[in-house]
Amino acid sequence: MAEEILLGVETSRKIEDILNGFLRASGARCVFLVSRSGQLISELGFTRDLKVLSIVALLSGIFSATEKIARLIKEELSELLLEGKEWNVYFKYIGKSYVFITMYKENSILGVIKVESKIACKKLLEILTEEVPIPRVEKFEEDTEGITKLISKFFEETWED
């Protein structure tokens, strides 16, 4: 199972500022910052009518599958474009750990989306490489024995006094 990524408050604020700037400059409808394992790190834009977690999970799967196909044909995938009748989706790697996913309508200009994505991804990479993700403790049960002993010792000393 992939490690869950938790970011500090200041880092999250910086990421949100960058995503906000991207949306204003690009004309995109919404943007997602996702780990390569599919964890949604940040989202911004018009997502009210969207099932965000389902969409992000499926988009991450599409990107991952396409990346595997690229490896089989000895290509390196750095971006991907899906075009629909109304909605389009543009994916771009951020370093080796993150994917920048943009959803936009047909009235947006792909060239602007690509240029603004490149600018935003560069800024995000700087922030994400500075920040060391806070590891989440998965095995709490193993730690409880030591805590229980410590509490017992405390109460023993308290009652002896």
Domain boundaries, the chain: 9-160
pLDDT score at 72: 93
Whether the per-residue pLDDT at 1 is higher than 50: the answer is no
3-state secondary structure 91-123: EEEECCCEEEEEEEECCCCHHHHHHHHHHHHHH
pLDDT score at 129: 85
pLDDT score at 92: 94
pLDDT score at 7: 81
CATH for the stretch 9-160: 3.30.450.30
Whether the per-residue pLDDT at 97 is higher than 60: the answer is yes
pLDDT score at 94: 92
Note the pLDDT tens digit of each residue in 112-156.
999 999 999 999 999 988 765 555 555 444 555 555 665 666 556
Mean pLDDT of 97-103: 93
Note the pLDDT tens digit of each residue in 27-77.
999 999 999 888 999 999 987 777 888 888 888 888 889 989 999 999 988
Whether the per-residue pLDDT at 85 is higher than 80: the answer is yes
Residue 7 vs residue 87, higher pLDDT? 87
